[in-house]
Amino acid sequence: MSDEQSLTYEDARDALIDIVRKLEAGGTTLEESLALWERGEQLAKQCQQLLDGARTRLEAAKPQE
Amino acid sequence: MPLESSAESPVAVRTVAKALTDWIGRLGRVWVEGQVTEVTRRPGQATGFLVLRDTAVEMSLRVSCKARLIDDLDPPLTEGSRVVVWGRPEYYAARGTLTFAAVDIRPVGIGALLARIEALRAVLAAEGLFAADRKKPLPFLPRQVGLITGRASAAEHDVVENAQRRWPGVSFQIEPVAVQGPYAVTEVIEALGRLDKDPEVDVIVIARGGGSMEDLLPFSDEALVRAVAAALTPVVSAIGHETDIPLLDHVADCRASTPTDAAKLVVPDHAEETERIRTAVLRARRCVTQLLDNEQNRLDTLKDRPALADPWGVLDGWASIVDELRQRAGRAAASGLTLRSGEITALTAQVTALSPQATLDRGYAVLQRTDSQVVRDASAVAVGEQLTARVATGTLHLVTEAVPT
């Protein structure tokens, strides 16, 4: 899981794109679909967290006026 | 030929004096150019004196001449005048002094000076001293600014004041020097040497306010120009007004038209720089925000794709397949059932149709032998044979009493 956490935003996003493509293409077993979907959800969450983190840092760096 | 002497057998003063007179006399007459630093002309005395100084280094000659020579000069000699003197060095044995006995004194005219500066300019340019690729860039923000200028001069004030207004934290190292007259060149060169050696000094300004052509002569002096060319620290020249262009302007790494202009060149404008930084930060922030927004859009689009947005969709797909199969199975089972129940009905009807019951109901009976064979021929039955009679309701057991004969 620690490996998962250290994914860069780009890596996570590309993995997510890949998963969506696979899901949309079909041809997977139910079990595989569910696993893919779970992984996709997790990646999407991670991407969002990274984006939110970046935004927070940006806000924090804002000059105090 | 050295004089032979020892502590025990010294030579007489006159011997040395005569030898000096002899040796010095051999130099003969020469034309000498220099700058007058002192004029001694006492009324009533037939002889006048000058001190003639080299323009670049601290070396002087004491010149004596007929007082009339000095009096006849127009314009009159003053300190700082450039003159060419014709004469010979003389050792005055009676007093033990050395003077340059002049028989002619000519002031160096402005035209001649300008022509000489022009000639020097051509020589130095040919040497490449003014070449653009020799120019050192000025530092963006110097730790210290070396300033060579007249003591408490307007030029000093202009440079310091304007530089401080632009960049309040600017630090100066000021070298006050003579900016005109016979000592200007040496003092400027010495000050330049000191500042150039100081590692804290990142740029040197040589500043002087406007003045007459003669006043600005030191800044076209060859020794000074070469010293500036040799300096490792960038040098800014700020001499006189816009129209004054001494040779220093050509050799300096940067030419300021005035001392005020020099201040602008050596330090950045604090307010302007602050604004630039602010703009840069804003632009950077805008870029990052834009990037984040773009990525957010991409991510949102991905999350909105049915594959992710509607996870139930996947299950629904599978569930509907299951559902359909179940329905098909149900339908198949039902139709099988219908088919079979029809068969049963038909069979039942058939069975009913084929049954002898109706006949029995009408009062007939069926006789069967013990082996269930139906009795069709009475003669086939033996006396005493047991038979069964099936009637509409129930069965009777009979014994045969008689048979036809």
Contact B50, B36 (CB under 8 A): yes
Going by pLDDT thresholds of 50, 70 and 90, the confidence category of residue B248 is very high
Q: If we measure between CA atoms, which residue out of B61, B41, B57, B52 comes closest to residue B83?
A: B52
Residue pLDDT, tens place only, B84-103: 999 999 888 888 889 999 99
Contacts of B258 (CB under 8 A, 6+ apart): B158, B238, B241, B242
- The answer on pLDDT for B227 being more than 90 is yes
Collect all residues of chain A within an 8 Å Cβ-Cβ radius of residue B282. Answer: none
Going by pLDDT thresholds of 50, 70 and 90, the confidence category of residue B80 is confident
Pairs across A and B, CB distance < 8 A: 51
Residue pLDDT, tens place only, B126-142: 999 999 999 999 998 89
Please state the pTM of the whole predicted model.
Answer: 0.55
> Across the interface, do B303 and A17 touch by the CB < 8 Å criterion?
no
Residue pLDDT, tens place only, B6-20: 888 898 898 899 888
Interface of A with B in 5-44 (CB under 8 A): 9, 13, 16-17, 19-20, 23-24, 30, 33-34, 37, 40-41, 44
Q: What is the dihedral of CA B324, B326, B331, B334, to 10 degrees?
A: -170
Helices B259-266 + B154-166 axis angle, to 10: 30
> Across the interface, do A63 and B281 touch by the CB < 8 Å criterion?
yes
Work out the number of other CB atoms within 10 angstroms of the CB of residue B365.
15
- In chain A, the residue whose alpha carbon lies closest to the alpha carbon of B301 is A17
Least confident of A9-18, A53-62, B144-153: A53-62
Tokens for B77, please give them.
């000699």
B277 and chain A: CB distance < 8 Å anywhere? no
Least confident of A10-24, B248-262, B344-358: B344-358
Q: Which of A21, A52, A55 to mutate to test the interface with B (most CBs of B within 10 A)?
A: A55
Collect all residues of chain A within an 8 Å Cβ-Cβ radius of residue B296. Answer: 51
Which one-letter DSSP state was computed for residue A62? S
Residue pLDDT, tens place only, B48-68: 899 999 888 888 999 999 888
When CB atoms are compared, the residue of A13, A20, A63 closest to B307 is A20
- In chain B, the residue whose alpha carbon lies closest to the alpha carbon of A61 is B285
Task: Report whether the peptide linkage leading into residue B75 is cis, meaning its omega lies within 30 degrees of zero.
Answer: yes
B322 and chain A: CB distance < 8 Å anywhere? no
Going by pLDDT thresholds of 50, 70 and 90, the confidence category of residue B22 is confident
pLDDT of residue A5: 62
Contact B391, B365 (CB under 8 A): yes
pLDDT of residue A63: 64
Contact B89, B100 (CB under 8 A): yes
Contact B247, B127 (CB under 8 A): no
- The answer on pLDDT for A1 being more than 50 is no
β-bridge pairing B395-399 and B386-390: antiparallel
State how far residue A58 is from chain B, nearest Cα, in angstroms. Answer: 8
Compute the average pLDDT of residues A25-53: 82
When CB atoms are compared, the residue of B285, B288, B307 closest to A24 is B307
State how far residue A43 is from chain B, nearest Cα, in angstroms. Answer: 10
pLDDT of residue A4: 57
- The answer on pLDDT for B44 being more than 80 is yes
Interface of B with A in 96-135 (CB under 8 A): none
Average pLDDT taken over every residue of chain B: 87
When CB atoms are compared, the residue of B289, B296, B308 closest to A41 is B308
> Across the interface, do A23 and B289 touch by the CB < 8 Å criterion?
no
> Across the interface, do A44 and B281 touch by the CB < 8 Å criterion?
no
- In chain B, the residue whose alpha carbon lies closest to the alpha carbon of A22 is B307
pLDDT of residue B205: 94
3-state secondary structure of B367: strand
Contact A22, A39 (CB under 8 A): no
Strand locations in B178-233, DSSP E? Answer: 201-208
- Highest mean pLDDT among A36-40, B238-242, B298-302, B401-405 belongs to B298-302
Residue, of A15 and B330, whose pLDDT is higher: A15
When CB atoms are compared, the residue of B288, B289, B302 closest to A20 is B302
When CB atoms are compared, the residue of B285, B298, B314 closest to A13 is B298
- In chain A, the residue whose alpha carbon lies closest to the alpha carbon of B311 is A37
Going by pLDDT thresholds of 50, 70 and 90, the confidence category of residue B210 is confident
H, E, C per residue of B250-304:
HHCCEECCCHHHHHHHHCCCHHHHHHHHHHHHHHHHHHHHHHHHHHHHHHHHHHH
Report d(CA B138, CA B254) in Å as an integer: 8
**Angle A25-A27-A29 (CA atoms, 0-180°, nearest 5)?**
130
- Highest mean pLDDT among B76-90, B245-259, B318-332 belongs to B245-259
> Across the interface, do B305 and A47 touch by the CB < 8 Å criterion?
no
Residue pLDDT, tens place only, B373-382: 888 888 888 8
Report d(CA B225, CA A65) in Å as an integer: 52
Q: What percent of chain B has pLDDT over 70?
A: 99
**Sheet (strand B395-399) strand order:** B366-369, B386-390, B395-399
pLDDT of residue A2: 45
